Amino acid sequence: MQPGNDTSISEFLLLGLSEEPELQPLLFGLFLSMYLITVCGNLLLILAVSSDSHLHTPMYFFLANLSFVDICVTSTTVPKMLLNIQTQSRVITYAGCITQMYFFIIFSGLDIYLLTVMAYDRFVAICHPLHYTVIMNPRLCGLLVLVSWIMNVLHSLLQTSILLQLSFRREVDITHFFCELNQMIHLACSDTFLNNLVMYLAAVLMGVGPFAGILYSYSKIVSSILGISSAQGKYKAFSTCASHLSVVSLFYCTGLGVYLSSAATQSSHTSAVASVMYTVVTPMLNPFIYSLRNRDIKGALKRITGVPVM
């Protein structure tokens, strides 16, 4: 929407997860705790990777980038939610809503791309171990991350720029705890055909495409592991990608659950509650998934904190 349009909206109302006053202190404490755990856990993981020379490998380089993006994903949504609960205000400005959506699209898309790049890294490590250091050289690793950023920034610019052309009613209630693209399109009172078309095409290119890449990588990984003769060799090969596979499963299952629940119930509130899983819970669990099953990460964390990691 442009300033010259007949509908000049300046703010939206974020209704959050619940409008019950007695639940607000509980929600504030719960989400503040999860946010602090997410930030601290991922920062520790980044610090562990950057401070330990043994972890200066492609796998941990991508992991550190994933941790940074997880912090950003949560930081685009939760602080505003906490502020609204604390001030007992549900208002978010139009500019603030667009900005929040812009960065959320970037960082959530980066999550998908980095998980895909990490799957490719595991594919090369297991299926082409002798050529791993040659293929996954620092230049390629940096280029993969850079391309991921460029693709998602351009995607977000496209989505937000065409959303700016839409008109809204003067009073708009968003049944969510952040400005989510799909819901914003449905709340518009002008023609949204182009927005829906771009959104669905982007879902195929930015979501289905990377997921197909992950499936292809793991199909080759499984074939290679099955070809290993010793049971110990199979276990060692599988253990190198078990953490990544757990994170991929958690991310895609929760994301798919959001859209299935939304489609099945046609309830924005149900979708908002389900969204908590991939916007808050998954970024919070990622550091634990990678550290609990990884001796190198455990060792690095122990040296940083001085506390034995189980």
Please state the rounded mean pLDDT for residues 171-199: 89
Q: Spell out the residues 6+ positions from residue 148 whose beta carbon is closer than 8 angstroms to its own.
A: 110, 113, 114, 117
Give the pLDDT confidence score for residue 2 in this predicted structure: 43
95: in domain: yes
Determine the residue type at 10: S
Per-residue pLDDT for 6 more than 50?
Answer: no
83: in domain: yes
Per-residue pLDDT for 7 more than 60?
Answer: no
Please state the rounded mean pLDDT for residues 286-295: 80
Q: 243-283 pLDDT, tens per residue?
A: 888 888 888 877 666 665 555 555 566 677 778 888 898 89
Residue % of the chain over a pLDDT of 70: 90
114: in domain: yes
42: in domain: yes
Determine the residue type at 270: T
Q: 26-78 pLDDT, tens per residue?
A: 999 999 999 999 999 999 999 999 988 888 999 999 999 999 999 999 999 99
d(CA 188, CA 216): 39
Residue in the structure block whose two tokens are 């050529």? 131
Give the pLDDT confidence score for residue 3 in this predicted structure: 40
Total structural domains in the chain?
A: 1
Mean pLDDT of the chain: 86
Per-residue pLDDT for 79 more than 70?
Answer: yes
3: in domain: no
6: in domain: no
Bigger pLDDT: 308 or 180? Answer: 180
Give the pLDDT confidence score for residue 257 in this predicted structure: 63
Bigger pLDDT: 104 or 267? Answer: 104
Give the pLDDT confidence score for residue 264 in this predicted structure: 53
Please state the rounded mean pLDDT for residues 92-101: 94
Per-residue pLDDT for 215 more than 80?
Answer: yes
Q: 227-242 pLDDT, tens per residue?
A: 888 888 788 778 778 8
Per-residue pLDDT for 171 more than 80?
Answer: no
Expressed as residue numbers, the domain containing 244 is 11-305
pLDDT-derived band at 16 (thresholds 50, 70, 90) equals confident
Give the pLDDT confidence score for residue 259 in this predicted structure: 61
Report the candidate in 230, 252, 240, 235 with the shortest Cα–Cα distance to residue 293: 240
Please state the rounded mean pLDDT for residues 197-219: 90
Give the pLDDT confidence score for residue 136 in this predicted structure: 95
2: in domain: no
0.85 cut: is pTM over it?
A: yes
SS3 labels along 170-226: CCCEECCCCCCHHHHHHHCCCCCHHHHHHHHHHHHHHHHHHHHHHHHHHHHHHHHHH
Q: 121-162 pLDDT, tens per residue?
A: 999 999 999 999 999 999 999 999 999 999 999 999 999 999
158: in domain: yes
CATH code for position 250: 1.20.1070.10
